[in-house]
Amino acid sequence: MTPYTLHHADCFAWLRAQAPASLHGVCTDPPFGIVEFLPHEMTKLRNGRGGVWRIPPNIGGSQRAPLPRFTTLSATEREHVRVYFKEFGEALLPVLVPGAHIFLAGTPMLQHLVQSGIAEAGFEVRGAIMRLYRGFRGGDRPKLAEQEFPDVCVTPRGAYEPWMLFRKPIEEKTVAQNLRKWGTGALRRLNTDQPLPDVIHSGKTPALEEAISNHPTLKPQHLLRILVRSLLPLGEGKILDPFCGSGSTIAACLSVGYQTIGVESDEAYYSALKENIQRLAALYPKFKGDSLELPSDEFTAKFPLRHQTQPELFR
């Protein structure tokens, strides 16, 4: 049985062609503001200037990754976010089995719009997993008036990323009955004595992984393996990433031992998927997402020149 399949397609069109109740979970990092991954904005990103992507300056000799500026969205574009995710949820709902969960990466500024749209489509809002990390988003002084207002920040410095959690309503009377029939309706514990927490320390994506893919929103294997593993409470089923970008979610599923499907519309990202997936999945071979930390021997082997402790790396 093939562990994963890839499709170069628009995910909306692809979803409409799928059999009902054929998927058991979703983990994806979608285009938060919709506009940032449109073809003309991707061209500006790849050219290194213009558009919704902010190309930040060097700080301390390090080049910061590009960030989409969601504060630039108009009222019409914000409403489009809600409508987009309502339509996405409507396309996704029939394809999932009852009780299937969705992990959807978000940004605090637009989270309420995404949750509203997905809920209108018929999903239950089940909270979120908060990824804690040391980010560079926010915390800036007023533009062009930095010296005038040195003790002011326009927004707080970002230190978390919400991974919104949704569930297709169960079909049976109880979760236990739904688990017996569909294998879904709940989340997989880290182990018998440790449930999945709603806060995970998982910081900046390690340079080792960023060297594999130049995708601007590459998420760490440490986080993704924990999330995808939790989606199948009995360890059986098929996971979908409809915006698979770098292939990092597919790689995480491959590492955990789950079947998965990836859909990507961008030609450049799609062409790099297979190589990215194999290289990312090969990292940390002992880590299967059943712990909140990488095994210490894997950390030492992968980062022999660093003198940091493992928790410091992922905060």
How far apart (Å, rounded) are the C-alpha atoms in residues 204 and 294? 15
- Taking CA 204 as the corner, what is the angle to CA 32 and CA 211, rounded to the nearest 5 degrees? 95
Please state, in angstroms and as integers, the Cα–Cα distance from residue 210 to each residue in 29, 180, 230, following that order.
16, 40, 24
* pLDDT band per the 50, 70, 90 thresholds, residue 125: very high
Question: Residue 183: is its pLDDT beyond 50?
Answer: yes
What is the pLDDT, as a whole number, of residue 52?
A: 47
Please state, in angstroms and as integers, the Cα–Cα distance from residue 162 to each residue in 48, 85, 104, 120, 127, following that order.
27, 16, 8, 20, 9
* pLDDT band per the 50, 70, 90 thresholds, residue 113: very high
How far apart (Å, rounded) are the C-alpha atoms in residues 39 and 138? 26
One CATH from 1.10.260.40, 3.40.50.150, 3.30.530.20, 3.30.70.360 for 4-313: 3.40.50.150
Question: Residue 116: is its pLDDT beyond 90?
Answer: yes
What is the pLDDT, as a whole number, of residue 248?
A: 98
pLDDT in tens, 25-70: 999 999 865 554 455 544 554 455 555 445 454 444 444 455 545 5
pLDDT in tens, 13-25: 999 999 999 999 9
* pLDDT band per the 50, 70, 90 thresholds, residue 2: confident
- The domain ranges of the chain are 4-313
What is the pLDDT, as a whole number, of residue 58?
A: 44
Question: Residue 264: is its pLDDT beyond 90?
Answer: yes
Helix axes 221-231, 248-256, angle to 10 degrees: 60
